[in-house]
Each structure stands twice: as structure tokens, then as C-alpha cells.
Amino acid sequence: MTDDPWNAFITRVEPGEAGPGPLSGKTLAVKDLFDTAGVRTTYGSGLYSDHVPQRTAAAAQLLLNAGAVLVGKTNLTEFAWGVLGDNQWYGTCRNPTQPGLTTGGSSSGSAAALAAGLCDLALGTDTGCSIRLPAAACDVVGLKSQWGLISVEGVFPLCPTLDTVGPMARSVADVALAWSVLTDRRVPEPRLTGLTVGLLRQPPGIGDGRVTETSDVVEGWVGDLERLGARVVEARVPEPEANTWPQFQHEALQSHAATFPSRGDEYGEVMHKKLEAAQRATPEEIEAAYRAIEVWRRYEPEVDLYVSPCYAIELPPEDADELEVRLPLTSFLRWVNLVGWAGLAIGNMQLIALRDEVVLAAGLAWENAA
């Protein structure tokens, strides 16, 4: 079996025989947050180091049923709550394309395995950045699907109001093919012609009062977007009416109620700090956060598609302090989960729209023209 100097996998699996289907013979790496029957599934935690599920998560099973061949379970931030590729229990995941810099998190191993050529397809989750940031950092492609479209059954939850599942690959075409299997929908025809594309130079905040990062990197994409038939305009997205962070903290605590704080000493240092902080959210703050998200999700965008970078600061080193970099590193990504839209990362380019079909069609058009 191929060596893994990038520590992309927690558990390797000897490939079986490929079955028939649209993904026949394509090798698949699955984030170790998804249950896999008979294969160790740790959720990136020491608490579950010997856990072997009896079932396979719905999304993973769909890909296997379509002929994909499982080659392993990939490394991730503990319980998928983190933006870097470090893991106290299973070691740091390393970036094959930018050595010494972070892979991004939390689907770090999925992106690294793709970038290193250890698999053809990967499956990840995205609650605030966790598919798109690793895809950008490792220069691959990842889809944060619109909320509620792809099943999260059999995936350890972090924040169900924001949790999404999505495919990752080295091309938009392969991501779209896997998405078609996961959703039972046809791959959309490539399209940018006739779309109004909004340049997002500064993302909305999450309501906590923090001023978000700005970037003019989108300027470099305008000429090609216009050549492909898009009308490009400046765009902004409104801010939420209240701080949304307490909603995330509330649901994270609920997801861990069976083991935190009762087994708190078995959590990693960073995860423990985050859950401790989550306990300080008040009922009033939580209620206001839910209201703000509900209102924000009714917003109707003024453009067909937004384009932005995935990250706008220098990519941190792999041993950076996660608590220091998590907000500036993810400001262009987090808001997309809160509004429930789709986001497609093609390297550091992010395409954002209400529906998966729109970002995939645009991504295919962009890729075909490259």
C-alpha cells in the first residue's frame, strides 16, 4: 500500500474489488467522522480510538454502491471542530502542495490524500469551512453542499443547523460526478454565460462585532469570468441581526452531552477549551442567535453567483495556534454555512450560490476553459 508521509490517513483499508457503477474503480478516502461498518472510526478523538461501527454512513454507502473503492479513513481535527490539520491523538496532517503550511481543517486528511494522489475521490464535512479551507490550502476541489441536501445520517454531529456533507476531488468534473451520486440529480451543464456574478471583497461577519478581512484577489478573475459570458458586479451580503456564535456553541455542547463534561479530561486541550467556553453562552444569547440565522436564511441575493477567495490571509504554518488564526483564516467561509448556501472551492477560488447546481455549473465552465 502506498506510503503516507503526509499523515493523511488514520486507518488504511486494503482496497476491495470495484463494483459496477458511475464511480467504478475510483478510489475513495472517507473523513473519519463518517461511520464505516467493520472499519475503525475514531471521529478524530481519543475517546473513540477503538470504535468500530456496525453500519456505514448513508453518504459513504452511496459512493460505495456506485463502484467507488474505499482505501482509508482520513485524518481530521478532533471531532471536526478546528481549522488546522493538527490532531493531538493522531498527529498533524501535512500539506503535500505547500510543505510546512497547514492543510486547513477539519477535512484535512481528505484534502491531503487527494493532493498526494492517494485517492481519486474523498468525502468531507463542512460546518464552518471544513471542506473548502482544506481544498484551498491543498489546491484541490471541494463542495460545501447547500444545507439539508446530502444526508448526514451516520456522521458524528458538530452543529446540525450548519453541518453539511460534500465530495472532494482534484477536478470539478469528479466532484460533480460524485455529487450526482450523492443527490440522485444529473450533473449540471457548464454555465457562466448570462449569470450576474458578484465580487465579494469583504464577507459579512457572524454578528460578533468583529471586522472581517478584505481581499482584492477577486480582481484577477474578472477578465476570465467576463470572457466566459458572465456580467461581473461589485456585491455585498448583509450582516446578521445578532451574534450567531452562541447557536454554534449550544449545538456543539448538545452533540457532546454524553461525554462532556463527564469525560472532559479525555478531550484534547483545544477541544476542551472550546467546550468550556461554550458553556458560558446564555439562553437569551442562544435564542437571539437562532432568530438571526432564521432571518438571514430568508435573504434573497441580488446576484446569481458570488465569487471570493476561500482565505485572505497568509496560510499559517502547520503548527500555528488554532485559537489565534481560526477567525481571520475562515472569515470568507463561515457565513456561507450560516445562510445555508452552497460553496465550491476550486483551489482558493470560492463560488457561492443558493443551490449546488449553480456553483457546479459555473465551476465546470471555469474548469473547461482553463
Q: pLDDT tens digits for 148-160?
A: 999 999 999 999 9
For residues 366 and 370, give the distance between their C-alpha atoms in angstroms, rounded to a whole number.
6
pLDDT, tens only, 32-87: 999 999 999 999 999 999 999 999 999 999 999 999 999 999 999 999 999 999 99
pLDDT, tens only, 190-225: 999 999 999 999 999 999 999 999 999 999 999 999
pTM (2 d.p.): 0.97
Which helix or strand (DSSP H or E) is residue 347 part of?
none
Ramachandran area for residue 153 (φ above 0: left; ψ -120 to 50: alpha; else beta): beta
Give the chain's domains with CATH numbers.
Answer: 9-183 (3.90.1300.10)
What are the DSSP E strand ranges found in the chain?
A: 9-12, 27-31, 69-74, 121-126, 141-144, 164-169, 196-200, 231-235, 305-309, 342-346, 349-353
For residues 138 and 104, give the distance between their C-alpha atoms in angstroms, rounded to a whole number.
8
pLDDT of residue 370: 87
Kindly list the catalytic residues.
31, 106, 130
What percent of the chain stands above pLDDT 70?
99
pLDDT, tens only, 102-140: 999 999 999 999 999 999 999 999 999 999 999 999 999
Virtual torsion, Cα 138, 113, 80, 295, nearest 10 deg: 50
For 34, list phi and psi in degrees, rounded to 5.
-95, 130
pLDDT, tens only, 291-324: 999 999 999 999 999 999 999 999 999 999 999 9
What are the beta bridge partners of residue 349?
A: 309, 346
pLDDT, tens only, 246-274: 999 999 999 999 999 999 999 999 999 99
Average per-residue pLDDT for the chain? 97
Q: Is the pLDDT of residue 2 over 80?
A: no
pLDDT of residue 361: 98
pLDDT bracket for residue 168 (50, 70, 90): very high
pLDDT, tens only, 109-118: 999 999 999 9
pLDDT of residue 1: 61
pLDDT bracket for residue 16 (50, 70, 90): confident
Report residue 266 as a C-alpha cell: 479525555
